């Protein structure tokens, strides 16, 4: 599958879901916005209404704000920026987890990313990736801004918030990191979706993903934030682990890609993201 095909599948997945079954929104904004009071921190979760339904997070302390993950589509970027301005506190920093597009709206503000992601932005790989995304999603912000703050260690204090970092340096399609605020019992990862199919690359990936979620479950997070889903409760970890275990069974029992897809749809009839399922099948039956 080409990158343009990947983007079209992603854009068509239709994955704005609700926490606890109730949609949330803020009057006057196009995207959906959830506000969560966590220990020592207010968390604002923004999910766009256009493009790839991207998720951004604004962490609010007593004095300032930190943005995690920008918006790559122009109207959503403006919408999010207006919401941030309305909070009435200075934006101290921007952190890139997996999505490095849309940073041009934050000129003059420190931008943090993993060392691997900074190199990805510098050496031309980000430009090629963004250009392909722009072909599949008209309006996508393809301008590359190289983050000026490189993260390497397991912990970082940014904007008065102590973050825990786990790095994913292998581009898929770009390097990134899972970010947590342990004191606030909040974690942000690229994709979860307790009611959604996942993009799986191999049998080894399935097992590694499940193991990572088991470890995450043991850390007591109460709010799960991701790049392509509205916030979820910790029960989503259990659901995804069970999903992965069942997927392993179906993969072992299925001789062809078609058999695998049919069995997965039967096992998970209400799951969204069938485009993701098709992508997984293509990866697993090369």
Distance CA 146, CA 230 (A): 27
Q: What is the mean pLDDT of residues 265-278?
A: 93
4 pLDDT above the threshold of 60: no
Q: What is the mean pLDDT of residues 205-215?
A: 92
20 pLDDT above the threshold of 50: no
Query: 163: pLDDT confidence band, cut at 50, 70 and 90?
Result: very high
Residue from 275, 246, 277, 248 nearest 261 by CA: 277
Distance CA 207, CA 4 (A): 28
Distance CA 114, CA 186 (A): 19
Q: Indicate the range of 13-17, 173-177, 204-208, 243-247 predicted with least confidence.
A: 13-17
- Other CB atoms closer than 10 Å to residue 215's CB: what's the count? 10
184 pLDDT above the threshold of 60: yes
Q: What is the mean pLDDT of residues 265-270?
A: 96
Q: Which pLDDT belongs to residue 286? A: 84
Query: 8: pLDDT confidence band, cut at 50, 70 and 90?
Result: very low
Distance CA 216, CA 139 (A): 36
Kind plus residue range of the DSSP H or E element containing 36: strand 32-38
25 pLDDT above the threshold of 90: no
DSSP conformational letter for 25: -
Report pLDDT digits (tens) over 220-240.
999 999 888 889 999 999 999
Domains in the chain, please, with CATH?
Answer: 3-284 (3.60.15.10)
Report pLDDT digits (tens) over 100-152.
889 999 999 999 999 999 999 999 888 898 888 888 888 888 889 999 999 99
Question: How does the average pLDDT of the chain come out, rounded?
Answer: 87
Distance CA 256, CA 259 (A): 5
76-79: list long-range contacts, CB under 8 Å, 24+ apart.
76/30, 76/31, 76/48, 76/49, 76/50, 76/51, 77/102, 77/105, 77/141, 79/29, 79/30, 79/31, 79/46, 79/48, 79/49
Q: What is the mean pLDDT of residues 247-263?
A: 97
Q: Which residue has the tokens 């039967």?
A: 266
Distance CA 198, CA 160 (A): 34
7 pLDDT above the threshold of 80: no
Q: Which pLDDT belongs to residue 21? A: 29
DSSP conformational letter for 88: T
Q: What is the mean pLDDT of residues 35-56?
A: 88
Q: What is the mean pLDDT of residues 20-38?
A: 72
Q: Where are the alpha helices (DSSP H) in 202-273?
A: 203-217, 235-253, 257-267
Give me the sheet containing 32-38, strands edge to edge.
Answer: 32-38, 41-47, 55-60, 65-68, 91-95, 111-114, 149-151
């Amino acid at each position: 599958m080409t990158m343009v095909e990947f983007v079209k599948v992603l854009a068509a997945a239709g994955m704005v879901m609700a926490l606890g079954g109730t949609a949330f929104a803020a009057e006057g904004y196009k995207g959906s916005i959830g506000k969560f009071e966590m220990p020592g921190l207010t968390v604002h979760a923004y999910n766009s209404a256009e493009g790839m339904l991207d998720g951004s997070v604004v962490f609010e302390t007593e004095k300032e704000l930190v943005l995690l993950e920008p918006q790559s589509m122009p109207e959503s970027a403006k919408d999010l920026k207006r919401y941030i301005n309305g909070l009435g506190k200075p934006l101290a920093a921007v952190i890139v987890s997996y999505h490095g597009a849309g940073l041009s709206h934050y000129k003059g503000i420190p931008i943090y990313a993993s060392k691997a992601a900074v190199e990805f932005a510098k050496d031309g790989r980000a430009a090629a990736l963004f250009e392909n995304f722009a072909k599949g999603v008209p309006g996508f912000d393809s301008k590359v801004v190289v983050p000026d703050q490189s993260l390497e260690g397991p912990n970082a204090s940014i904007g008065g918030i102590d973050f825990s970092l786990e790095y994913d340096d292998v581009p898929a399609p770009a390097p990134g990191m899972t970010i947590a605020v342990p004191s606030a019992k909040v974690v942000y990862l690229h994709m979860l979706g307790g009611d959604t199919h996942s993009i799986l690359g191999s049998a080894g990936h399935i097992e590694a993903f499940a193991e990572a979620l088991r470890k995450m479950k043991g850390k007591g997070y109460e709010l799960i934030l991701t790049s392509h889903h509205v916030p979820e409760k910790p029960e989503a970890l259990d659901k995804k682990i069970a999903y992965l275990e069942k997927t392993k069974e179906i993969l072992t029992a299925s001789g062809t890609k078609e058999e695998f897809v049919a069995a997965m749809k039967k096992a998970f009839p209400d799951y969204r993201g069938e485009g993701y399922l098709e992508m997984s099948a293509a990866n697993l039956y090369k």
